[in-house]
Amino acid sequence: MSLFKRSNSGFSLIELLVVISIMASIMALVGPLTVRSVESARAQTELVSIERWINGWGRKAFLMGSVIVIEAQNGQLIARSEGVPIDTRALGLWRLKESLKIEFSSAGLPSIARIELTSGELTRGVSIRGDLPRPGAE
């Protein structure tokens, strides 16, 4: 009879180390892609939020019957009515390619149709349309 009985239940240390090293290699390959896709989704969400914020002021200008001006200063968008700031919005991950001044008439029409924003290597355009009320929509 043998003095040592080998048990077949469980894994050896070598087997565990091989599995852990394979998992670490996979994580090293997939991790940066995941982080990049999360950052891209965050930037896209923020871009949509900025576009909605700007276009919402066209509707407000129409409903208020006054001119609203949106300007960019120190990484923020500032909405003014008759020279008085009424709201601000941080640009966050995005930066303007050039100075910005959008004027919404009392009819809710914007003075420019498009602006360009950059975030790292990404450049995206935002359409300025004013979000005017449509007949039967409210």
Question: Lowest-confidence range among 5-14, 50-59, 80-89?
Answer: 5-14
Q: What is the pLDDT of residue 38?
A: 86
Q: pLDDT digit string (tens) for 67-106? A: 999 999 888 999 999 999 999 999 888 998 888 899 999 9
Q: What is the pLDDT of residue 3?
A: 63
**pLDDT exceeds 70 at position 5:** no
This prediction has a pTM of 0.72
pLDDT band at 11 (very low <50, low <70, confident <90, very high): confident
Q: Which residues of 29-64 are buried (b: 16+ CB within 10 A; e: fewer)?
A: eeeeeeeeeeeeeebeebbeebbeebbebbbbbbee
Q: What is the pLDDT of residue 89?
A: 93
Q: What is the pLDDT of residue 6?
A: 63
The three state secondary structure string of the chain is CCCCCCCCCCCCHHHHHHHHHHHHHHHHHHHHHHHHHHHHHHHHHHHHHHHHHHHHHHHHHHHHCCCEEEEEECCEEEEEECCEEEEEEECCCCEECCCCEEEECCCCCECCCEEEEEECCEEEEEECCCCCCCCCCC
